[in-house]
Amino acid sequence: MTKRHGYLLLGWICVGLGIIGALLPLMPTTVFLLIAAWAFSRSSPRWHRWLREHARFGHLIRGWEEHHAMPARAKRIAWIALGISWSATALVFGPFSLASLAGGVCIAGVALYIAHIPVLETRRAGLPSRDL
């Protein structure tokens, strides 16, 4: 398998996971589609363009690729999902279990990373005003 085929395979796996994430609560969608866009940019200009122009998710991908920013609503949803994920882990394993503590450290790291991502101003970026 060539590098190009590997990136193409990764892109389609992430598109599939993104579709599943759009249907299942607490499973991310955007992160998988961003990975797919990255993989397609290295393997297939056709599929990269298709993902960037997608009616539902294209504005998020263009916003990240062009401005390295995300909409405020997407940030809020991500933080809520992180909180729910940790709460579910704490409920199942106990709040002071190794799983909850390790998960909490990882979730805190992701939350801090999200906090440092600039907010995408849709008017300035020339993107549609919908956030998600």
Are 96 and 51 members of one domain? no
Range of the domain at 87: 71-116
Question: Residue 3 — very low, low, confident or very high, per pLDDT cuts 50/70/90?
Answer: very high
How crowded is the C-beta side of 75, counted as CA atoms within 13 Å? Answer: 16
Are the C-beta atoms of residues 68 and 41 closer than 8 Å to each other?
Answer: no
Total domains in the fold of the chain? 2
Are 18 and 53 members of one domain? yes
Distance CA 21, CA 36 (A): 13
Q: For 88-97, how does the pLDDT look when each residue is reduced to its tens digit (9 = 90+)? A: 999 999 999 9
Are 107 and 50 members of one domain? no
Across residues 77-93, what is the average pLDDT? 92
Q: Which pLDDT score is estimated for 131?
A: 45
Q: For 22-48, how does the pLDDT look when each residue is reduced to its tens digit (9 = 90+)? A: 888 767 888 899 999 999 999 999 999
**pTM tops 0.85, yes or no:** no
Of 6, 9, 36, 8, the closest CA to residue 21 belongs to 36
